[in-house]
Structure 1
Amino acid sequence: MTGRGREVADLMREKKVDVMCVQETRWKGNKAKELGDGYKLYHSGANKQSRNGVGIVLPGELKNPLIEVHKKNDHIIRLKMCCGGEILNNISTYAPQVGCTEDEKEISGETWIE
């Protein structure tokens, strides 16, 4: 996703997508980033490497009903929001497979269970 933030915002507007989950963002740290035109990416990535990473992109009108952002690790992120009187949980997950060792795959699988 590096350098593609504006493209994601344009695509969401063009296709009328309200919430987009993204994987392999390849950004370090747990932050929120403005993509342009009011779209904001909430992402979770490893601090020591620039691979993996997950995120959720919201348009400006959905940023205010946001209740909680829970960033478990570079494989799981959850946004809790209130829309129309209902509590919604949006979850973006990622399980790396190609190019990973069996140990990495096992560790990734264990994070789903916790």
Structure 2
Amino acid sequence: MTGKGKEVADMMEKRKIDMLCVQETNSMARNIGGGFKLFFHDVDGKRNGVGVILKEKYSKSVVTVKRVSDRVMNVKLEVGDWGEGVTINVISAYDLQVGCEMEEKETF
């Protein structure tokens, strides 16, 4: 585990963060290690890209990962004990401003 992924995993561990939405994920490895897993979506690896980083214990609770576009995704989790579970929807969205045409910004 090296680079940005290691920095993020270390920060999440230090601050006791179990779930984190990230943007510009094209520069991060899929498996950031350190007990965390990155679910991400990017198109062509050039720009944008959103993701959700989950502590390993929650990554096993993922029911669906819905990639709406290169700037919006949803990760659905079912957590809790038998029959008493809770559904959590984590939405990661990125409204890029720099380098986009006004029409693209308004459409988003």
Q: Match for residue 9 of structure 1?
A: 9
What is the aligned partner in structure 1 of residue 102 from structure 2?
A: 102
Letter in 1 for 2:104: E
- Paired residue for 2:90? 90
Residues 1:57 and 2:67 are matched in the alignment: no
Q: Which amino acid aligns with 1:92?
A: S
Letter in 1 for 2:56: G
Q: TM-score, normalised by structure 2?
A: 0.85
The answer to whether structure 1 residue 22 and structure 2 residue 22 are counterparts is yes
Query: Match for 1:66: what amino acid?
Result: V
Percent identity between the two aligned chains: 41
Which residue of the partner structure matches residue 66 of structure 1? Answer: 62
Gaps of 5+ in 2: none
Equivalent residue runs for 1:37-52 within 5 Å: 37-47=34-44, 49-52=45-48
The residue type paired with residue 51 of structure 1 is R
How many Å apart are 1:23 and its aligned residue? 1.1
Provide the TM-score with structure 1 as the length reference. 0.81
The whole-number CA distance in structure 2 between the counterparts of 1:77 and 1:53 is 9
Structure 1 stretches lacking a partner, 5+ long: 110-114
Count of paired positions: 101
Whole-angstrom CA distance in 2 between matches of 1:46 and 1:81? 24
1:68 offset after TM fit, Å? 0.7
Q: CA deviation at 1:38?
A: 2.2
Q: CA deviation at 1:50?
A: 1.0
Cα RMSD between the aligned structures?
Answer: 1.6
What is the deviation of 1:62? 0.6
